[in-house]
Structure formats: structure tokens, C-alpha cells
């Protein structure tokens, strides 16, 4: 395989940016910027997300059976960068960002423009990431988008020319 062609082609897949959050019964909170997200079913509504297998988020979500996907807006580059590092909880903040526990017990960031809460229904393990499939059990829009909703989401491209994923 041509490694350069593989890398370039995989980087041609567009990615939105989201903050994945979870919490366990011990009160540990996980939060990480992710970009492997897609809707995988309409009825019931389900999401498929890729989560790094050696991350704290992976272990907490797998054990708790739920997660929240916090949607970032175009103007929230700083928030995306804040969760490229390990999550640190201090009261009702994680990495300095206020959150509330909602329907599933997962933290929902107050700054997110929207969120989806999911119960974990399938886990597919393999390679350096697992695919979690979650059924959407709650949703909220915290800041209404102007125009098309799919154009309101922060994308990897919005972080600048030197930030890539894939390959």
C-alpha cells in the first residue's frame, strides 16, 4: 500500500468536533474531544462514535453504559483544544467548563450549543479505538443555530491548516 496515498485519502474524510462526556457511579468524570461520530439509525435514533481504547473515557463509558455528546459551534475552537488533554473535575466543572448531570447521569457542558445523551447499546472493539453505539434518550439545543444546523458545527478544518486527523 502507498502509505502517503492512504494518509492523504483518510484525511479527506470531513470531521465535526464534539466533546464526549461520561461519568461513573464513583463520581469520576471523563471528557474528551472526539470527531468520529455518525448517526447510525433513525428508529431508534442511534449514534456510532469512535473512542480511543486506552482512554479514561473508554473505560468510564463502557462501565457506566451511558454518555453525552456535546456539540461544539463554529466559534468554540478553544473548547475543542481544552479537551485534547485529560479531564480534570473540580466540583461541577471539568477542565474549567461548567456542566450539569442530566438524564443519563452524564455531564452536559453548559457551553455546548447542543447535546445528545445516549445509553450504550453495543460496543465493537478492535484496533486502537472501539466503536460505541448509543441510543439517543435525550437531546437539547442550548443555542439555536443560524441557517443549516449541519453548518453550525465546529469542524476539524476550523482548527487551522496544521491540525489533521486520520492516516
This prediction's pTM: 0.93
> What is the domain extent for residue 105?
3-159
Residue 106 lies inside a defined structural domain of this protein: yes
Domains: count for the chain: 1
Q: Is residue 165 part of a domain?
A: no
CA distance 20 to 129: 14
User: Residue 166 domain-assigned?
Assistant: no
Residue 164 lies in a domain: no
Interval 48-104: pLDDT, tens: 999 999 999 999 999 999 999 999 999 999 999 999 988 999 999 999 999 999 999
The strand pairing partners of 155, in sequence order, are: 16
Instruction: Name every residue whose Cβ is closer than 8 Å to that of residue 20 and which is 6 or more positions away in sequence.
Output: 30, 31, 32, 33, 34, 49, 51, 57, 61, 67, 68, 69, 70
Mind listing the pLDDT tens digit for each residue in 6-43? 888 887 788 899 999 999 999 999 999 999 999 999 99
When pLDDT is averaged across residues 146-165 and rounded to a whole number, the result is 83
Q: Name residue 136's beta-bridge partners.
A: 118
Radius of gyration (C-alpha) of the chain in whole angstroms? 15
Amino acid at each position: 500500500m502507498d502509505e502517503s496515498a492512504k494518509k492523504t485519502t483518510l484525511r479527506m474524510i470531513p470531521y465535526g468536533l464534539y466533546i464526549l462526556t461520561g461519568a461513573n457511579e464513583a463520581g469520576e468524570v471523563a471528557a474528551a474531544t472526539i470527531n468520529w461520530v455518525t448517526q447510525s439509525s433513525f428508529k431508534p435514533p442511534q449514534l456510532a462514535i469512535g473512542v480511543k481504547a486506552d482512554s479514561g473515557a473508554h473505560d468510564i463509558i463502557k462501565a457506566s453504559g451511558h454518555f453525552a455528546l456535546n456539540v461544539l459551534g463554529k466559534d468554540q475552537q478553544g473548547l475543542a483544544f481544552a479537551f485534547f488533554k485529560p479531564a480534570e473535575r473540580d466540583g461541577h466543572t471539568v477542565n474549567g467548563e461548567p456542566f450539569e448531570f442530566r438524564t443519563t447521569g452524564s455531564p452536559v457542558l453548559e457551553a455546548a450549543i447542543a447535546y445528545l445523551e445516549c445509553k450504550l447499546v453495543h460496543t465493537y472493539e478492535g484496533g486502537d479505538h472501539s466503536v460505541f453505539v448509543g441510543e439517543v434518550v435525550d437531546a437539547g439545543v442550548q443555542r439555536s443555530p443560524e441557517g443549516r444546523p449541519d453548518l453550525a458545527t465546529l469542524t476539524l478544518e476550523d482548527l487551522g491548516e496544521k491540525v489533521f486527523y486520520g492516516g
